[in-house]
A and B are shown apart, each in its own frame.
Chain A
Amino acid sequence: MADFSYYIFCAMLLGGALVVLLSRGYVNAAMGMLCSMLGAAGLMVLMQCYFLAFVMVSVYAGSVLVLFVFVVMLIGDVKENSSIWRKIGIVGLWVVLGAFVGWVSPMLSQAAAGLSKTTEVVFLSQAKNYGLVLMTEFMLPFQIAGALLLAAMIGVMVVAKNPSRKKARRELV
């Protein structure tokens, strides 16, 4: 049963990513990415990181992708007509690199598995542990991330404010 859902989520993840890679319009690509993100959240649930899975759905699927679609709708969807050979080339490259991943990934995990497991308690599945770790061990990165978000917010406002509108109004007067 776990295998069954695992393969479904993997198919969603990689299928959605392929749609992003190959699709012609932006909206199709955004929907492919939605599928991919939901697959990633599903894999996180299988890893028993429930809190991160739902934060992922909330942040990526709920806000970031809606923002993508919103901007696409503002500037208009475009159909880029790439040739069939280019598509075949992309898929071929993808398959070759996938085979490379299939070769290198077991070796990587073999190397990583040499370390010994530190604890037996399940920490990752409890939402409260994230708060505890964020407020103690990771206090400085947490504050820096907050400052970065504030800077990003102010930066977006400055960038998005249209200077030509002010100029136009001045010319009108």
Chain B
Amino acid sequence: MSYLINQTATCMPALLGTADCSYADMALFIVLKVVFALAAIIVIMCFAALSVVAERKVCAYIQGRYGPNRTAIPIIAAIPLVGNFLKKNGLMQLVADGLKFLLKEDPLPAHVSKLWYLAAPIMSLSPILICACLIPFGVWWDSGGAAHPLAAANIDVSLLAVLAIGALGVYGAIMAGWSSNSKFPYMGAIRASAQVISYELTMALAAMSVVLYMGSVSDSPLSLFEIASAQEQSWFFMTQPLAALLFIVALFAETNRLPFDMAESETDLVSGFHTEYGSFKFGLFFVGEYGHVALGSALFIILFLGAWNPLPYISYPESWGWISTLLGFITFLVKISAMIFFFIWVRWTLPRFRYDQVMALCWKCLMPLALANLVFYMAIAAI
């Protein structure tokens, strides 16, 4: 790891064309970066895949059913304890679902605009994969005692970058709705674009009150790693509860989860912007949605829920070295799982809003609250 930090110092200027370094160093550096980026993507994608199963299981428990518990892969299911565990918890259903997405016939309706119809699933998934590389998953200390983030890319405006690139995912929904050339996807796309523009404002304003506080304690207040390291004592949801509430409401709207899933509300729009999609292209939308949920959870945890610190006022000591790095990483993953459970819980508990209610809630309630919250913390910072 410390090798990588040194390499970054020498190779980054070379990549930007302002300095020179040997091709072997550069190649190794690029390979390492790609490996780290892949690792971050794999973590987010694992969460996306597992939350599909979790969604079905949790929904089943909430509705008093068993959920998927029959699917079995022949040889693995015969392993004494593990096989039964996997079968009972529906984990093999995951493989079956994935295979179904892959092996079903891939229809291409005759009335669609082909290029954008094919590009839309990719456009909805790829921004999430880019954002995954910017999320710090933990902290580690080099031999000098300086803290570094466990992230594939550490830039000083990573919060802004995640918000900006994450918002690009809406183009997937818009282009899917437009290119499908059919009524319901079209309405879903219009709803998605209006909703995302509106709720992005609330989300950014809520995050801004955290940045405002960070500006007084840190030199790069827009960096996710700095925000996470500032929460070793009190967490931001304790000092800024309203901002946390606004952020999570906006997050539900941004990720198109149920109280706000206007873009694909099944009752009035069949299944919204991906009505015309089937098989693997639908699978990409599906995974993209859960990836967005996992990413949003990670963002919320870093901003308000103390990132990799286990409890408020308690953090893993620096003197434990890599053990506390590992513990912090595990804590972070556990927190993401808990947040995903919260997302699913809300989905199966609350009914859906009407479209005009969603927009009225944003512009008449959340936006003024977010502005008032920001002005309040601005006044506190000024005093």
By a beta-carbon cutoff of 8 Å, the part of chain A in contact with chain B is: 1-3, 6, 27, 31, 34, 46, 48, 50-51, 54-55, 57-58, 61-63, 66-67, 69-70, 73-74, 77, 125-128, 131
Contact = CB atoms under 8 A, between A and B. Distances in A.
Given A66-B196, A69-B178, A70-B194, A61 B168 contact: yes
Contact of A62 (B168, B190, B219): B168
16 contacts: A1-B30, A2-B14, A2-B17, A27-B116, A46-B16, A46-B17, A50-B156, A58-B163, A61-B168, A62-B200, A66-B171, A67-B197, A70-B190, A70-B197, A73-B190, A126-B156
B15 A1 contact: yes
Contacts of A58: 160, 163-164, 167
B174 interface: yes
Interface in B151-178: 155-157, 160-161, 163-165, 167-168, 170-171, 174-175, 178
Lowest 3 CB-CB distances: which A-B pairs, in order?
A: A2-B17, A58-B164, A62-B167
Contacts of B116: 27, 31
Contacts, number: 87
Given A63-B200, A66-B170, A74-B190, A54 B17 contact: no
A149 to B, nearest CB: 13
A32 B170 CA distance: 16
Given A1-B26, A62-B168, A31 B157 contact: no
A31 B113 CA distance: 14
B16 A2 contact: yes
Contact of A57 (B16, B168, B170, B174): B168
Contacts of B15: 1-2
B165 A57 contact: yes
Given A51-B160, A66-B193, A127-B156, A1 B174 contact: no
Interface residues of B, number: 35
Most chain B CB neighbours (cut-off 10 Å) among A3, A67, A127, A128:
A127
Contact of B197 (A51, A63, A126): A63
Contacts of A6: 17
Contacts of A51: 157, 160, 222
A127 B200 contact: no
Contacts of A34: 171
Contacts of B220: 126-128
Interface string B122-156: 00000000000000000000000000000000011
B219 A128 contact: yes
A138 B174 CA distance: 38
B193 A69 contact: yes
B377 to A, nearest CB: 16
B352 to A, nearest CB: 22
Interface in B205-250: 215, 219-222
B164 A62 contact: yes
Contacts of A55: 160, 164
A58 B222 CA distance: 14
B127 to A, nearest CB: 10
A48 B178 CA distance: 36
Contacts of A27: 116, 175, 178
A66 B26 contact: no
Contacts of B305: none
Nearest to B26: A1
A129 B366 CA distance: 31
A54 B16 contact: no
Contacts of B167: 58, 61-62
B186 interface: yes
